[in-house]
Each structure stands twice: as C-alpha cells, then as structure tokens.
Amino acid sequence: MRTERRVIRLGLGAKFTLTVLTILACTMAANTLYSVYASTRFHEKQLVERGRALGRLISLVSPEAILGFDFLLLNDYTRQVSAQPDVVYGVILSPKGSPLSAYIDDSDPFVRARINATGSTDITRLLQELDHQPELIRLEFPIVHNDVELGRFLVGMSKQSLHAESRRRLAFQLIALTALVMFLCAAIYLAFRANVLFPIQALISASRNVGRGQYTRVDVKSEDELGQLAQAFNAMAEEVRREQAKLHRQANFDTLTGLPNRLMALDRINQAINRARRTSQRFALFFIDLDNFKSVNDSLGHAVGDELLVATGMRVQAILRDADTVARLGGDEFLVLVPDVVNELQAEEIAERLVRTISQPQTLSGRKVVARCSIGIVVFPDNGETAAALMANADNAMYQAKASGHGSAIFFTEDMNTRLHQRMQMEQDLNQALELGQLALHFQPIYNAAARCHRGAEVLLRWQHPERGSVGPAEFIPLAEATGQIVAIGDWVLEQACRKWSQWHRAGLGPDFLAINISRVQFRKRFARRLGELMTTYEIPPHALELEITESVLLDDHHHVAEELNSLRAIGVTLSLDDFGTGYSSLSYLKRFRFDVLKIDRSFVSGLPDKPEDVLLVKAILAMAKGLDLKVVAEGVESDDQLQFLSAQGCDYVQGYLLASPMDETAYGRYLESLMVRAEPVALVATRNRRRAGTSG
C-alpha cells in the first residue's frame, strides 16, 4: 500500500516569519522566564524578610506575656502574625517544645491536606509534616529574657501565593509576549512582504514572462540588494531578448543570404496551407537547385560561390511580390513560395521567369558567371497537403528536372513518387543484401594486348535480387553511394577480392593482379589504412592490387585526395585512373596526381577503328600515356579490329567481351586452372556473341 506524503511547501515569507517568530519567541520567552525567576527570587527574599521581621517582633514582645502567663495575649500575637499574608502558621513553643500558642491557617491547602491525611490536629506533628513541604519557609526565633530562653517562635511562610503570583505574572507576560510577538511578526511580515516579497514576486512574474518570451522590465524601486537584483534582471532580460532575437534570426534565417531558412520556410508553408484551406485557394512551391554549383566553388572558390548564392537570392526576391517567400534551404537549394496561384500555367510562367532570372550572366569577383538551375514545382493541394509532403515532392521534382537536363523546371507527378518509392525499396533491399549473401564478385580477365596473355582481372560486383533477378552495378552503385552503403559494400568487395586472390595464389593459380573499383565515398573513409590491414591479413603483395579510381574521386578535397593517394602509393599498390576521357579535367588530374595506369573508356573504344575522331582521341591518349610513362588499359574491346588497332597503337592491356566475359569466382577459378594446364600464352576464350551479363569495368 502506497502512502502518500503531503509536502507542505512554505513560501519565503512564511519561512522568514517563522524564523523571526522562533527567534523572537525564544528570546522573549527566555527573557520572561528569567524575569519571572528573578522576580520570584526577589519576592521570596522579601517573604523571608517579612517572616524575619514578624519573628523578631514576636520574639521581642513575647517574653512579658510568657512570664505573665498571658497566653491569650500570646494568642493575639500569633493570631496577628498569622493574619499577615502568606503566613501559614505562627507557633510559640515552650523550651520543652510544647506549644504555648499556635495559630495555623487551616484554609491553607497544605495544612488541610496534612490534616486530612493524618486526621490529627496535633500541632507538633502537623509542624513536622509541614516542615517537609517545599512550598513552606520555616523560620524560627528564640524568645529570650535575661539570657533565659522562654520559648521559640516558629513562623511558616507559604510560597504558594508567591508562586501563584509568579504563575499569574508568567501567564500574563506570556500572553503579552505572545501578543507582542504576533504583532511584531505581523509587522515584520508586512514589512518583509512590502520590501522583499513583492519585489521578488515581481521578479518571478517577469522571469515567467521572459520564459514565455515576453520581455518585461521590473521596476527598480530601491538601491538595495533587491534593487540591484532587479537591475541585474533587467540587464539579463535585455541580453536574453537580444540573444533570443539573434537565435531566432539564426534559427529562422540563413546567415549568408539573409533569407528565411528551411525552418522558417516550413513555417511559412504551414501558414500558407492554413490560409489556403480557409480561402480555398492554391499556392505553388518552387524547389530550386543550382546546377554544378560545386564546380563554381571548386573552380572559382567558395567566396565566389557564396556571392553567387547571395546574388541568386536577391535576384529571385527582386522578381517576386512581397507576399511571396524566398528561402534558402541549404547549400545551393532555394525554395520559393507563391501564394494565390490560380493554375499550373501561372506557376509555369513563374518558374520560367525564375529560370531566366537565375540564368542571366553576372559578374562575381571580376569573373563572369552563368548559373543554371533546376526547379521542381508543386501546387497545393494537388501535390501534397502537408508541408513535409510538398517539400519532398518538390525536391523529387527538382531531381527529375536536374536529371532531365540543366535549366529546366518540372511539375511534380505521382510517377515521380513511384520511382522514388522504388528507389527507397531498393535502398532497403540493398541494406540486407550483404547479410543475405545476395552480392557476389565477378571477374573479367585483362590481357596483355600484344602477347594476348592473361594478366589479371577487373573485379565486378553483382547483386542477385530475389525478386528482380540480377541487378547491374550501374543501377545500385549510385544508390549505394548516395546512401553511404557503398562504404560497407566496398569494404566487403575489397576483402573478398583479397581473400580470393590469396586463395588462388596459394593454389598456384594467382592472376598477376586484381583491379578493384574504388568509390569516391569509400575513398574518403581512411581507405589506405583499411587496405593496408587487409593486405597484411591476406598477405597480398602490393603489385597484386590495382585500384581503379574515377575522376569523380579527384573532384573532392584535393589535399585529402593527395594525402590518400600518396598513402596508397606508399603501400605500393597500382593506381589506375578509370573512365579516362569522360571527365572534366583529366589532363590536369594527370598532372596533379600520379597514376600508374589509364583506362580508356569503352565509349572511345567502341568507335574504333572506323570513327576517325575516336581513332584520333585514342591515339592521342596512348601517345600522352607513353609520354607520361603510364600503362594503358582499353576496356570494352568487342571486335578483332579493335583489338588489332589497339595492339598496333601500343595499348598495353585490353579487356572486353572479345577476350572474356565477366565470370563468377568459380568460373574464373576454373579459367585460371585451365590457363595453368595450357600454359601461357593462352588462346582467347572470348565469347564473342555472349549476351552481356553486366557492365564491364
């Protein structure tokens, strides 16, 4: 059974008042007790003094009466004595101790109690009993005449009335004290409330307002600590307000362009949705992405890239209405929100205007720059009913526009979503492909062009999808690169290739090398170190590995790429520049980075030997490679004429369907075994008419 504890929370005022109350009560109570104690002591002394005065008087006047046997007079004396306040008894005893005269106040509670207890009025016994009463003061005085003791006078003084008076005084003082303490506490509390609690409550209220984003100043009414606190609070609140404004701006606006950022854009879209729902109107979103913005950054520098972004934002703003919103979503992505769009035609016109405006040449840092953009267009509510859906669809449409060619604007269609969903499905499937063993390595042999002998093989990746069948690398590798899955996949490929080479090598079948494609994403992740670990694990000599790197790798951070390439070179592996001739600045890369091999793209080989431009280009590449002391591999060799031409022009290595199709590891193992049986040089095992089962390297 759970017992709930009631927690009484006391406010500052209550705590302070209780503290003051306790201190006051303790102090004043102690003072009162001491006062009463001292007073009681004083009155007790007075009582004794009174008793002594009476005793001395009686002892002075009694001898005559005793000598004259005037006991009635003695009685008068004792009666008179006993009539005095606080006297319980007055007794004159003979020298033998027998009472000569006695008067005892039988109304006294002690006397009455004794009489009731003993049932006797015997004076001597009663006196003995009373002597033990702490409330009684017993005083004794000798009655002497001419140095002869005639008797003794005993007087009993009761402290009862004294104590009763003390109690009464104590009660009165306690009542007065209580009243005084209560009054003082009330006064102190009121003063405390006025001078402390109210300012604190004002501060609390102001703090809560600040918490709600309402910045209110607290009136500073004094120069004391609370006044200083109020001043400090005001200063803090002002600083918080500034910081909040700054944070709000940082959170909602792009620092570079000053345009609303993604967060603000989403807010504006939501507002537009609400308004559009109320007014049954439509609005359009334009998702703008600058084409090849990275090239501008790389070639002209980031400062120019930033200038371009700022200028683009200003240009777009300039052609829009005040009610429209231009936001920078990040990178080179912009979003334009145009309310009250009547139809798609109006949206299309706006998109065209945006494309035209952005595409106009401009001079940035003294350089003439022409920017292109791709625009995805969505219309509320046709293409989505939430901000997230509209944004996603616009983004999707923008990608479609970008895929369809630079400088275009495309309306979102449901078909795009279908493709997107397929892509997402593939992405999910690819996630499980490694675990489910759906990925497999294939090997396409590479031959010495002149001697026609087998030298090695390019490692190719195949995905055996359980529903879609074999999926080519051209279909899933870009997806894997986009999602980052390529890192794990690439690592698996690398390890599997090392393992297989090591296995074949130990079997005496080993090809001279295996050429492995390295993705630019993979290349960023400390690739050289990982390669070194695998080579150590599988005892792979450096010459046994050839890493094929596309020009896209070289587009990344030059410094990092150079460091990584140098590390690979230090390991001793062969570096091959893949798809040579299809990139942007191949020659500058060759100059900047040192490669061992160039791979001529199949697109140049396919026109050989009939297309003069391909012939010239391939001859030029071969001549350049020879001049740079680079080996050349021509891929996609599918005819004898191509092989003859390349061989004649001094191409070092060839690969293609003419020579050998890609084969799985079992088939390639058997191929290697057959080579051992036949011994080099080998006959071509071309399957010239075999259907292409995958993309050769």
Which residue number, 149 or 224, has a Cβ lying nearer to another protein?
149
C-alpha 413 chain-centroid distance: 39
Q: Does 588 bind another protein (CB under 8 A)?
A: no
Which residue number, 103 or 412, has a Cβ lying nearer to another protein?
103
**In the sheet that 409-411 helps form, which strands lie side by side, from edge to edge?**
325-330, 333-339, 283-291, 372-380, 409-411
Backbone angles phi, psi at 452, to 5 degrees: 60, 25
Q: Does 495 bind another protein (CB under 8 A)?
A: no
**Residue 360: both structure tokens together:** 């106009």
Q: Give the residue, chosen from 37, 69, 172, 198, that forms a contact with another protein under the rule CB under 8 A.
A: 69
Longest dimension (CA), the chain: 177
Which among 597, 413, 585, 592 is positioned nearest to 512, based on CA atoms? Answer: 597
Which residue number, 65 or 143, has a Cβ lying nearer to another protein?
65
C-alpha 81 chain-centroid distance: 94
Q: Cβ 100 to another protein, closest distance in Å?
A: 6
**Window contacting another protein (CB under 8 A); options: 71-79, 390-398, 481-489, 633-641:** 71-79
Q: Cβ 123 to another protein, closest distance in Å?
A: 11
Which residue number, 115 or 197, has a Cβ lying nearer to another protein?
115
Q: Cβ 163 to another protein, closest distance in Å?
A: 32
DSSP 217: P
Which among 600, 589, 585 is positioned nearest to 561, based on CA atoms? Answer: 589
DSSP 258: -
Which residue number, 68 or 142, has a Cβ lying nearer to another protein?
68
Give the side-chain half-sphere CA count within 13 A for 332.
22
Which residue number, 72 or 303, has a Cβ lying nearer to another protein?
72
Q: Cβ 120 to another protein, closest distance in Å?
A: 13
Which residue number, 74 or 672, has a Cβ lying nearer to another protein?
74
CB 387 within 8 A of CB 381: no
Q: Cβ 43 to another protein, closest distance in Å?
A: 33
Which residue number, 152 or 328, has a Cβ lying nearer to another protein?
152
Q: Cβ 159 to another protein, closest distance in Å?
A: 29
Q: Cβ 75 to another protein, closest distance in Å?
A: 6
Which residue number, 94 or 438, has a Cβ lying nearer to another protein?
94
Q: Cβ 129 to another protein, closest distance in Å?
A: 20
Give CA angle at 236 (232, 242), nearest 5°.
150
Q: Give the residue, chosen from 57, 73, 200, 562, that forms a contact with another protein under the rule CB under 8 A.
A: 73
Beta strands in 234-380, from DSSP E residues, in sequence order: 283-291, 325-330, 333-339, 362-364, 367-369, 372-380
* β partners of residue 137: 157
8-67 residues in contact with another protein (CB under 8 A) are: 65
Q: Cβ 96 to another protein, closest distance in Å?
A: 9
**Window contacting another protein (CB under 8 A); options: 54-62, 68-76, 235-243, 607-615:** 68-76
Q: Cβ 24 to another protein, closest distance in Å?
A: 58
Beta strands in 219-311, from DSSP E residues, in sequence order: 283-291
Which residue number, 99 or 636, has a Cβ lying nearer to another protein?
99
Q: Cβ 158 to another protein, closest distance in Å?
A: 24
Number of shown-chain residues binding another protein (CB under 8 A): 12
Q: Give the residue, chosen from 30, 33, 38, 72, that forms a contact with another protein under the rule CB under 8 A.
A: 72
Q: Cβ 114 to another protein, closest distance in Å?
A: 19
Which residue number, 93 or 553, has a Cβ lying nearer to another protein?
93
519-558 residues in contact with another protein (CB under 8 A) are: none
Which residue number, 151 or 662, has a Cβ lying nearer to another protein?
151
- Where do the H-state alpha helices sit in 451-600? 473-483, 486-506, 520-523, 527-538, 551-555, 558-571, 586-592
Q: Cβ 155 to another protein, closest distance in Å?
A: 19
Q: Cβ 65 to another protein, closest distance in Å?
A: 8
Q: Residue count of the chain, please give it.
A: 697
Question: Is cis: bond before 609, omega within 30 of 0?
Answer: yes
x/- string (CB under 8 A) for another protein, residues 86-125?
A: --------x---xxx-------------------------
The dihedral of CA 481, 484, 485, 490: what is its sign?
Answer: positive
Q: Cβ 99 to another protein, closest distance in Å?
A: 7
Q: Give the residue, chosen from 24, 71, 192, 479, that forms a contact with another protein under the rule CB under 8 A.
A: 71
CB 412 within 8 A of CB 393: yes
| DSSP code per residue over 626-683 | HHTT-EEEEE---SHHHHHHHHHTT--EEESTTT---EEHHHHHHHHHHHHHH-SSPP
28: alpha, beta or left, given left = phi > 0 and alpha = psi -120 to 50? alpha
Which residue number, 51 or 90, has a Cβ lying nearer to another protein?
90
Which residue number, 71 or 492, has a Cβ lying nearer to another protein?
71
Which residue number, 149 or 239, has a Cβ lying nearer to another protein?
149
**Window contacting another protein (CB under 8 A); options: 69-77, 198-206, 602-610, 658-666:** 69-77
| DSSP code per residue over 518-544 | E-HHHHTTTHHHHHHHHHHHHT--GGG
The dihedral of CA 211, 215, 220, 221: what is its sign?
Answer: negative
Which residue number, 72 or 323, has a Cβ lying nearer to another protein?
72
Which among 513, 514, 453 is positioned nearest to 653, based on CA atoms? Answer: 453
Q: Cβ 62 to another protein, closest distance in Å?
A: 13
H or E stretch including 445?
A: strand 439-448
Q: Give the residue, chosen from 32, 35, 39, 75, that forms a contact with another protein under the rule CB under 8 A.
A: 75
Q: Does 70 bind another protein (CB under 8 A)?
A: yes
* β partners of residue 328: 334
601-640 residues in contact with another protein (CB under 8 A) are: none
Which residue number, 98 or 118, has a Cβ lying nearer to another protein?
98
Q: Give SS3 for 432.
A: helix
Residue type, 371: A
- Where do the H-state alpha helices sit in 434-485? 473-483
Q: Give the residue, chosen from 11, 68, 213, 466, that forms a contact with another protein under the rule CB under 8 A.
A: 68
Residue tagged 């007073």 (tokens): 39
CB 633 within 8 A of CB 599: yes
Q: Cβ 50 to another protein, closest distance in Å?
A: 26
For residue 620, CA distances in Å to 186, 480, 581, 626, 627 come to: 104, 35, 11, 10, 10
Using CB under 8 A, list all residues that contact another protein: 65, 68-73, 75, 94, 98-100
